[in-house]
Structure 1
Amino acid sequence: MPKTLALTALLLTTSLPVEAQQPSAAPALTLKHDEGTATIRKNPQRIVAMDEEALGWLFALGLGERVVGLGSTYLNPGDLSGGKVKADVLNSGFYKRGKLNGPAYVGSWTAPNFETLLALKPDLIVRLTWDGNQNYDKLSRIAPTVGYKEGGPGFWQRGLRDLARVFGKQVQAEQLIKQVADTNRANARKLQAAGAFRRYSKVVVLAPFTGGSNWVYSSTRLIPDLRAVGFRDGIQPSKLSLGVGAQVSDEALLGLDAKTLVVLFPPGAPYNGADAFLKTPVGQRLKAQSVLYVPEDFSPYSGPLVSIRNSNDLTRLILEKVK
């Protein structure tokens, strides 16, 4: 067995708790999160963000420079060089919203690269999670790991507040959460003054995927921001997938009334099926009451930075629609 693989096997099967493997100089705190409980030394210096959601929280707290490893489902081999994310990629889309110093690519949500993670020697791993997600135990043996379910109520606020405690940035976190609420209130007043709710009292966030499947987000992913500015739900699925939303039929979409605004919110490339959807009979039928909202490349779905952008950009699009 190669030496690196042997080391991986040893560390991933050891019963020694992570906190017992770490230096005891820094004070520690215990966080109860959606995957368990983690004991973390305060003010970690080497962080792994297993996805863009976690990265967004770290960016908001000004901690991007401490991210030594980044996981993503968006990145492909052409975005990498020597196992690290290329500088031009880091200077594009959502990644340029924070300071990143050439983090190593550590795989995707479902397929983390444990050898790379071990070599990075992180002192904190942060990730989004969902029912049935795997590898928490393995990640926790490498470094204290915290995970937050996207479908949980106020999940990004909890994640942000927990990280703020770890880094002593509680005041900054509360200011960010208040800024989101203030932004939504200001935009609600703009929409009310323009008569937007007289024309569209309800809203549906529709995610058209390549391949023809369409999903309605009804828990997270843009819909909380639209509710916050004053819209009611146009569709309420009875059963959600991963606590986020549900696949929707063409018949359900054709049943939407004219007072329901359809916000087309396609997933990131290569999953963006918005253009194809708009060419379908259903897309053509809904075109007059639809707006297309395309997120930045590599963007998370939620978090304070994203909510502020969502609220402002969607308000602008809707005001243009109702002129």
Structure 2
Amino acid sequence: MRRVFFAFLFTAIALAQQGACPGERVPHDLGEVCLSKVPDRVAALDWRPLEDLLLLGVRPVAGADLADFPKWVKVPLPQGIADLGGRTAPNLERLLALRPDLILGYTGFQGRLYPELSRIAPTALYDYLPSEGQLAAMRRHFLLHAQLVGKAKEGERMLSDLDRFLAQARERLEQRGLGGRPFLLVQAWARDKVYNIFTRSTLASEVLEAVGLRNAWTGKAEAYGLSRVGPEGLVRLVRENPGVQVLLIAQPGNNPLADPAIGPLLRLQGARVHPMDPATWTYGGPFSARVLVEEALRVLLGGKP
């Protein structure tokens, strides 16, 4: 009976949404949404739109994986946002009960749910991890998020602020003789002896190259634009790239220099390993991009960014 009730509601909402668009049409990667007014009740099913909304000063009615969000994304999370559960399997019944007038998310996690989501409310899903051009995609998606919530001018201003910050960071690195210096961005999963290397096609790499650093890794990308190497592979990378700056994202105690199996070998190669904040988020919007650069400046220049 409960399922029949919700199926009826889904159908009723879908019928109400059919017909000509009386307002603004905004494209997304699975279609377009029609908005007759600025939405007041926005649900963010992924961390990227949640981060963007908070940066724009919009408090969503719901999000997903909210317990872990503050552990990675440094933007303050207001109280009272309903938690819909996991990003890959949000609670649709609870979402329906919250009566959102806009749903935002990621095609990779929520794309299969698009028919159900679009029957609840206008839904815009974006591919936040295209195979290339992730920095340009991040900027475009941020402006679309801003447009959808009536904050287009604020979004443009915030991107201009980011551009100024990146230019200043580039100048600081050049002044210290680090312009064009090769780097490897490494995320350690020490318990498995596996190291994720960010390829040039990742957002994090593109952001770091935007401030004048040069990604030394030319290997093939696997999932999410990452390559995976073992301890021997990491040592080989350092040996084959003399002077490379290793920007390390790892949990406390996971510094490869502290690993007796590879630490001595890395030291023999003169490895320059710079541990960054272990919760540095590499898949966010303009806010997280700035935090990533600030963290890189801190470890490369010493002290505060």
Q: What TM-score bracket applies, with the shorter chain setting the length?
A: 0.7 to 0.9
- Gaps spanning 5+ residues in structure 1: where? 77-88, 267-271
For residues 147 and 286 of structure 1, do their structure 2 counterparts lie closer, same or farther at Cα, with a shift above 3 Å needed? farther
Instruction: Name the CA distance, whole Å, in 1 between partners of 2:249 and 2:169.
Output: 19
Partner of 1:45: 40
For residues 6 and 302 of structure 1, do their structure 2 counterparts lie closer, same or farther at Cα, with a shift above 3 Å needed? same
Partner of 2:108: 130
Matched residues, percent identical? 26
Q: Is 1:208 the counterpart of 2:188 in the alignment?
A: yes
Q: Which amino acid aligns with 1:71?
A: A
User: What aligned pairs does 1:173-184 form with structure 2 within 5 A after superposition?
Assistant: 173-184=155-166
Q: Is 1:275 the counterpart of 2:258 in the alignment?
A: no
For residues 131 and 110 of structure 1, do their structure 2 counterparts lie closer, same or farther at Cα, with a shift above 3 Å needed? closer
Give per-residue Cα distances to partners, 1:155-177, cap 9 Å, x unaligned.
22112111222233222111111
For residues 295 and 252 of structure 1, do their structure 2 counterparts lie closer, same or farther at Cα, with a shift above 3 Å needed? closer
Secondary structure of residue in 2 paired with 1:208? strand
Give per-residue Cα distances to partners, 1:47-101, cap 9 Å, x unaligned.
111122111110121112xx111112x627xxxxxxxxxxxx97x8747535x34
Instruction: Name the CA distance, whole Å, in 2 between partners of 1:291 and 1:75.
Output: 28
Secondary structure of residue in 1 paired with 2:183? strand
Secondary structure of residue in 2 paired with 1:130? helix
Kindly indicate whether the alpha-carbon contact (under 8 Å) linking 1:49 and 1:71 is maintained by their aligned counterparts in 2. yes
For residues 227 and 300 of structure 1, do their structure 2 counterparts lie closer, same or farther at Cα, with a shift above 3 Å needed? closer
User: What aligned pairs does 1:10-159 form with structure 2 within 5 A after superposition?
Assistant: 10-12=8-10, 16=14, 19-20=17-18, 28-64=23-59, 67-72=60-65, 75=67, 94=73, 97=76, 100-130=78-108, 133-152=111-130, 153=133, 154-159=136-141
Aligned partner (choices 289, 298, 301) of residue 272 of structure 2: 289
Kindly indicate whether the alpha-carbon contact (under 8 Å) linking 1:222 and 1:302 is maintained by their aligned counterparts in 2. no
For residues 119 and 230 of structure 1, do their structure 2 counterparts lie closer, same or farther at Cα, with a shift above 3 Å needed? same
Instruction: Name the CA distance, whole Å, in 2 between partners of 1:238 and 1:221.
Output: 16
When the two structures are superposed, what TM-score results if normalisation uses the length of structure 2? 0.82
Give per-residue Cα distances to partners, 1:267-307, cap 9 Å, x unaligned.
xxxxx48626454334564474111222658x573211112
Once the 2 structures are TM-superposed, how far is the Cα of residue 19 of structure 1 from its aligned partner? 2.7
Partner of 2:231: 250
Q: Which amino acid aligns with 1:37?
A: E
Kindly indicate whether the alpha-carbon contact (under 8 Å) linking 2:101 and 2:121 is maintained by their aligned counterparts in 1. yes
Partner of 1:84: none
Secondary structure of residue in 2 paired with 1:16? helix
Kindly indicate whether the alpha-carbon contact (under 8 Å) linking 1:264 and 1:293 is maintained by their aligned counterparts in 2. yes
Structure of higher RCO (CA pairs closer than 8 Å, 6+ residues apart): 1
For residues 282 and 137 of structure 1, do their structure 2 counterparts lie closer, same or farther at Cα, with a shift above 3 Å needed? farther
After alignment, is 280-289 or 120-129 more displaced? 280-289
Task: Give the total of aligned pairs.
Answer: 289
Cα RMSD of the aligned pairs, angstroms, is 3.1
Q: Which amino acid aligns with 1:40?
A: L
